[in-house]
Homo-oligomer: A and B are copies of this chain.
């Protein structure tokens, strides 16, 4: 077994050398001026990345922990909430509501489709007592980006707060938290932020804080009232994942050095190039409203999707994600997040072409990469962190 040379999975995503160097530093203590200064700076950087002037809380957990924090801090057992489905992560909101006895009114979405904002509006009208709408920016399992802007506009007309899972969408798809009126935004470290998994982030506006002060669901580790108080001292209620926070400081230098807008532009470009390549290879995209964070490709009929992904890894050292749950074997997914470059995707597309050929599904030689290149153009390597440079053990 080898470490994949080119990791194209939608989290964890590859780490820049600067991040790997930071992870390898001697550990520092978190209740020191040195650490507090780093923590303060990173949370300010996260406000820029999350496009909000609201405070951002940092949790030591997977992204799911921040999703749970949103549910348990906003609602009480018996409360009603609208949940937008459409994939594994939309369903996670539903599961969280079920676990905490929240009455979830679901907006069903066929896998591969984006939610129809009008359906969310209709659900809000039919359930005027709903306190929250739970939605997903990029539905990683299908490669769809939902129209959060439109959903926010409709939610704004109700009393409900809008909570958006941007775990994989942050820094990949447009997400104007304050400008669009997203009340709570959730994200995680192992996607666009180019870090290992272990940190989660949640921004909360005044409208949502008001609910949090009144919510009665039991909570302790994820009690955001306590986390918010600790922010005043640039502190967290419990020992934070110090090493990942220190690495976040380096990642933010790279991201903010180029800027969020350019980061999004780069991501859009490599995603468009990948989509063009897939179609030039005679394959089909799975998502009807594709995210720039991940491209889901339908496995052609007669090809075993699990074998296809395995072969790409064995032959070319390229690791892509397959489908999850009932999508297993039916799609493969190329991530575009974070430190993934156009070059990585050229390698991934070539690996796909070769693996398809080996599985007796020939595709025109080189057409995929040619179509991608036409879009990647002179902007190859335009990512926020050019590869090479810092020397770290590998």
Chain A: residues with CB nearer than 8 A to chain B? 1-4, 7, 9, 11-15, 20-21, 23-30, 32-34, 37, 60-65, 68, 77, 95-96, 99-101, 188, 190, 196-198, 217-223, 238-244, 319, 391-394
Does A29 contact B319, Cβ atoms closer than 8 Å? Answer: yes
Q: From known contacts A37-B1, A61-B60, A239-B11, infer whether A220 and B24 are also in contact, taking CB-CB under 8 Å.
A: no
Does A23 contact B26, Cβ atoms closer than 8 Å? Answer: no
Q: What B residues does A7 contact at CB under 8 A?
A: 26-29
Select A3's contact among B2, B21, B28, B64, beta carbons within 8 Å: B28
Of residues A33, A190, A198, A394, which shows the largest number of chain B Cβ atoms within 10 Å of its Cβ? A198
Does A63 contact B319, Cβ atoms closer than 8 Å? Answer: no
Known: A7-B27, A100-B218, A198-B244. 20 other contacts (CB 8 A): A1-B33, A4-B29, A7-B28, A7-B29, A11-B239, A14-B26, A14-B27, A20-B25, A21-B393, A24-B392, A27-B190, A29-B319, A62-B238, A62-B239, A99-B218, A196-B243, A197-B241, A197-B242, A241-B241, A243-B244
Does A24 contact B60, Cβ atoms closer than 8 Å? Answer: no
Does B25 contact A394, Cβ atoms closer than 8 Å? Answer: yes
Complex alpha-carbon distance, A62 and B28, angstroms: 16
Does A32 contact B319, Cβ atoms closer than 8 Å? Answer: yes
Of residues A26, A64, A96, which shows the largest number of chain B Cβ atoms within 10 Å of its Cβ? A26
Q: What B residues does A188 contact at CB under 8 A?
A: 239
Q: From known contacts A12-B29, A393-B21, infer whether A239 and B197 are also in contact, taking CB-CB under 8 Å.
A: yes
Q: From known contacts A24-B20, A25-B393, A29-B4, infer whether A221 and B68 are also in contact, taking CB-CB under 8 Å.
A: yes
Does A29 contact B1, Cβ atoms closer than 8 Å? Answer: no
Residue of chain B at shortest CB distance from A29: B9
Does B29 contact A65, Cβ atoms closer than 8 Å? Answer: no
Residue of chain B at shortest CB distance from A64: B238
